[in-house]
Structures are given as C-alpha cells and as structure tokens.
Amino acid sequence: MAANVHILWLSPVMSSQGLTPKKGVQLPFRPSSPAGKDPVLMPWRGNGGRVVSPVCCSSSSNGRGPEPMDDGVKEVQQLIEEKRRAELSAQIASGAFTVDRPSFPSQLRNGLSNFGIPAEVLDILFKWVDDGYPKIPEAKGSIRAVQSEAFFIPLYELYLTYGGIFRLKFGPKSFLIVSDPATAKHILKDNSKSYSKGILAEILDFVMGKGLIPADGEIWRVRRRAIVPALHQKYVAAMINLFGQATDRLCQKLDAAASDGEDVEMESLFSHLTLDVIGKAVFNYDFDSLTNDTGIVEAVYTVLREAEDRSVAPIPFWEIPIWKDISPKQKKVNEALKLVNDVLNNLIAICKRMVDEEDLQFNEEYMNEEDPSILRFLLASGDDVSSKQLRDDLMTLLIAGHETSAAVLTWTFYLLSKEPAAVSKLQQEVDSVLGDRFPTIEDMKRLKYTTRVINESLRLYPQPPVLIRRSLENDTLGKYPIKRGEDIFISVWNLHRSPHLWNDAEKFNPERWPLDGPNPNETNQNFCYLPFGGGPRKCIGDMFATFETVVAVAMLIRRFNFEMALGAPEVKMTTGATIHTTEGLKMTVTPRIRPPILPNLEPVLKVDPLDGSSSREENVVAQKGQVSSAHP
C-alpha cells in the first residue's frame, strides 16, 4: 500500500516545561554507534554519522524536483540542521521530553487533601487505586524539534528512551506510539475489529473516498471480498510478463543514457516504471510514463503529491473555506483530480462494454489474455458496485501499488550501491537462473537471493514506515488500559530496526534470511517484521509487489552496473506516503560486462540415448561480452 500519514500536521504546539524523567520509565538503553555502521541509517546523529554520498538529483518528472540552491546556503542550512538534530538527541537523552504530569488519581488525591482529608485516610484509599493503574509513559513533543525531519526518526530515538509503547503529546493532540511486536499483533490481528484507519481515512478521503485502504466496517469487508480473488495465481503469472516488459523498457532507456554518458535519476525512473506497471495491472491503461510525460501522468503525480502534502501539513489547509476555493494550488489539484477521475470513469465504461461483448465464461481464475486487469475481473464477476465505489477502488490500488514498489526499488538500489559483494551474488544468481531470457513465474522460486535482498531492503526501509489506527472502543495494550478514540501509530520503522529484536539491526544483511528458509513475513517473524502489515488489513498486493521488485532488480543488475554519480549531495530521507530521498538517487549506469564462463576441460560422459554406450568429449564453452537484451 502506499499512502500513510504523518504526525506533523497534527502537532503545532511546543512546550518543554516541568519535564523530568518519569518514575518507572525505562531510560536506559542508549543506542551505541559502532564504527562501521551505516551512518545514513542513523541520521539523527549529526555530521559524525553521515556518509556524504556522491549523489545528486536532476529535476525529476515525478513532481518532486529539488529547488536549485547555492552551495554556501546549503552548507549553512546543513550545519543548522545538524545542530538542531544534535540538540534534539541531547534533549531526548536528558529526559527533557518526559512529562512528569500527575495522574488523575494523584490529582484527585491532592484535591481531597486540600479539603482537609487526613493523609492516613488518603493513603488507604489511594493505595489500591494507584497500584492497579499503570500509566503509559508520556513524551511531550516539540513541533520545531522534529520539523523538517523525516518524522519517524525522532520517534525511533524516543522509542529507545520510552520503550515499546508511549504517548506523544503535542499541545492538545496526543498519539500512542507502538513499537512492540505483541502490541502490534494485538492491534492489527487479534483485536483488529476494535481499530479503524482513523486520521488516514480523513486525509485520504479526497482521493480514495471509500477505497480499500481507508474504508472501514462493512464497506471494507465487501470490497476486500470482491477484490482479493482478482489477484489469483494465473493473474500473477501474467503479471510477471508485464513486469519483464516494463523493466525491459527501462533497460532501453538506461542503455541510451549509458551510451550518451549521462547520469540518471533512478528514483523518478522507478516511479515511472511502477506507474506503468500498475496502470496496466489494475485497469489496462498504458501510462507509458517511461517514454512520455503526458497530461494524465502529470495529473496523477499532482494528486499523489497532494495526498502526501496533506499528510505532513501543520494544519488542514484544504479545509479553510475561502482559501480552498481560490488557492491556485488547490485549483490545480482539483483539475488534476477531475482529469484522473474522467480517465478512470472512461476506462470503466469501455471495460463494461468489452465484458458485455465477450463470450468468456466467468470462473474463479477468469482472465482475459488481452486485458488481464483487475478491473476486467471485477466487471466480469458481476461485481454489483456503484461506479463511484469502483473508481475509489481503482484509485486506491493505483496509489497503493505505485509509490510503495517505487520506494522499495529506490532504497534497494541505494543499499546495493554500497554492497558490491551482494551485487556480485545477485548477478551470479540471475545469470544462472535466467541467463538472457525474461523471468517467468517458475523463476520466482529460484531467484532466492534476489528475494532476500528485497526482504532485507523492506526491513530497513519499510513502506510506509508507520501504520495508523484509531481505537473504536476501550481496550488494553499490554498492561495499559486505553480509551476509545486514541490515535495510534505503529512504528514499523522502530520494529524493523529495534536493537532488542535484531542482531546488527542497522546492517544490510540479506544473509540473515536463510535461502532455504520460509519467506519472512509477520507470522513467522512474530510481528517483529511487518513489511506488508498483518491481520485482516494486510496488503493484498504482497506477492505482486515482491515479484515486481524481484523482476526489476534481476533484469537491471544483469544488464548494468550501478554506481552513485560523482559530485552529488548525500542521500537523505524524507517522508511522503512512503520514504523518499530528499534529492533523488542519481546514479551512473554502465553496461555490465558479463564475466567469461571458463571452459570446462573436464571430459564429460556422453550417453548415447539409442544404445546406452558412452563416449568422452571435451566440453568447451566460452562466452564473453555484454549482456544482451532479454528476450523471452
């Protein structure tokens, strides 16, 4: 899924008065920063902990192009930013964020004491009350302290201080931050009925309406039951072809860049790749964004960026009455939304006609070879749904399946750029499993190491980094009672990087997942690993997305070598719906020279199939040269 929401728009007030470490709060574990750890993974540690990666970003056509900036200004800004982060770390470490606020029982006790009730009587009364009333550790945040930073990073630091569940308060707003596997399992799976999508649904309403991600209750149940069957095995197998063809188009683009000696900005290319894939996969529409920057592609990005902007906005500006009608930006968003909706409505109408005209009998593995899309399946199944609901579903799938996969590819290539040994292993595997051909569904089982690389990339860069819920009734999280209406952020980032749950949590180590072991998921990892969520709201595109990213990585690294481009700024994180880079991932791409396959001079035994006699012959195979374009 793609969209998820950030905390900053909810949190405009700063305060730090009266703050001392709370009794009973574990303050204990300070993360060490051993030499050799990947510094970009600990960006809050300031300059000492950073790699200045030679990466720069060309203006990207995915709507996130950076503003040109003077080098001196940049340097000053960087210094200010590092000072701010260092101060934030020091504040958190000193307990300055801890609220030592009296609990309700102790406030009551003070009140009664003011009325002259003797302390001995109060002792007897309140002994019982306090004993059974554990309080959630509470941190009081400062919007300025965490602003301009990917918000899940200070949450990690706070987690190390306050533990697996704590309350974060910004003025009148309050959130529970959960980073404990058992509590995450309780919310997502065991008691999932007591939780809704809360603020996520509110923010995404303008674009997803009652689509599967924001929907709750009966609408969600009905729509999930209708959509999940569309992703059957035959469909996924057909999608592997689609992934291969789309990646091949990207390879051609990279070929051209490589022969022109041009560096490429991979983040936006991955965004185009996954947009092209999801358009075909969901409603059989070829955005062809890798080759064309058409109006509809621009409109999709405008809508996506708006969803992300809303999720990080300090106030819900889109609700301000007059402003929302006169703001040029909102006008552009509305126009873009209208264009995308019109295209979707048109596609729905065309598809309806096609289904009416076709003879194909519907069955549970229904798939039209020319149009294997989810939309076609839904209409052929006789899905009794309003056009508005169908449009919401399509839009949701488009967003869910686009940004996430693009982000996974971006961070995988970033990680691989620092791990030549992993790249060699990948290339060996791909050469031996695929050779020069397109991948098939059978290859997905064989590309084991490639899959582990994706598993590990998703651990270090979960997309999205937090899951959002709201409690629909009173509940108990661990030992803490909570009330109805609590906004909860399950920090997948914290779970995936917890030093309590993982050895060398910050190290990129695909080998942590044994090749012959099961595919890691939330169940076999006990909710310490949640790349696709868990429980009834788990991602419906998990297999689709894993295969999509495996195919893309396999085909790209078989054909090219990727290095960070020279002279670029460091790669930093920022959040929208998923984790983006701040300034793109600029890489130098060169055609890969495949290592020669050494002649095997060992005599091989050749058996004559007719008479069973054997003869010896020299097996000499030598191959050298550029990896050719993949053809099925």
- Site for ligand HEM, rule CB under 6 A: 1, 212-213, 224, 396-397, 400-401, 404-405, 408, 463, 467, 531-533, 537, 539-541, 544-545
In the bound complex, what is the minimum distance in angstroms from residue 352's beta carbon to ligand HEM? Answer: 21
Q: With respect to ligand HEM, which residue has the nearer C-beta, 1 or 495?
A: 1
Instruction: Give the bridge partners for 138, in sequence order.
Output: 167
Looking at 193-267, which runs of residues are DSSP E strands? 195-196, 264-265
Q: How far is the CB of 532 from ligand HEM (least distance, A)?
A: 5
Residues belonging to the chain: 632
The rounded distance, in Å, linking the Cα atoms of 97 and 45 is 18
**Residue 266 vs 467, nearer CB to ligand HEM:** 467
Nearer Cβ to ligand HEM, position 539 or 556?
539
Residue nearer to ligand HEM on the CB measure, 154 or 541: 541
Strand segments, DSSP code E, in 77-225 are 138-140, 165-170, 173-178, 195-196
Residue placing its CB nearer to ligand HEM in the complex, 39 or 462: 462
Q: Minimum distance from CB of 630 to ligand HEM (Å)?
A: 22
Cα separation, 285 vs 487, whole angstroms: 37
| CA dist., res. 59 & res. 68, Å (int) | 9
Q: How far is the CB of 185 from ligand HEM (least distance, A)?
A: 12
Closest approach, Cβ 398 to ligand HEM, in A, equals 9
Q: How far is the CB of 182 from ligand HEM (least distance, A)?
A: 17
- Closer residue to ligand HEM in complex, CB, 343/467: 467
CB 40 within 8 A of CB 570: yes
Question: What is the nearest approach in angstroms of ligand HEM to the Cβ of residue 536?
Answer: 7
Q: How far apart are the first and last CA of the chain?
A: 30
Strand, coil or helix: 149: coil
Specify the residue, 163 or 535, whose C-beta has the smaller distance to ligand HEM.
535
Q: Report residue 202 CA to chain centroid gap.
A: 20
Cα 399 from Cα 397, distance rounded (Å): 5
- Nearer to ligand HEM by C-beta: 97 or 411? 411
Two tokens at 1?
């899924």
Cβ atoms of 96 and 16 within 8 Å: the answer is yes
DSSP secondary structure code for residue 215 in this structure: -
* Smallest distance, ligand HEM to C-beta of residue 188, A: 6
- Shortest spacing between CB 397 and ligand HEM, in angstroms: 5
Angle at Cα 319 formed by Cα 326 and Cα 394, nearest 5°?
95
Quote the least distance from Cβ 253 to ligand HEM, whole Å.
22
* Full 3-state SS string of 183-231: HHHHHHHHCHHHEECCHHHHHHHHHHCCCCCCCCHHHHHHHHHHHHHHH
Q: From CA 222, how far away is CA 211, in angstroms rounded?
A: 11
- 404 versus 498: smaller Cβ distance to ligand HEM: 404
Is there a contact between 171 and 145 (Cβ–Cβ < 8 Å)? no
The residue among 450 and 588 lying less far from ligand HEM, judged by its C-beta, is 450
Residues 6+ apart with CB under 8 A from 94: none
d(CA 521, CA 515): 14
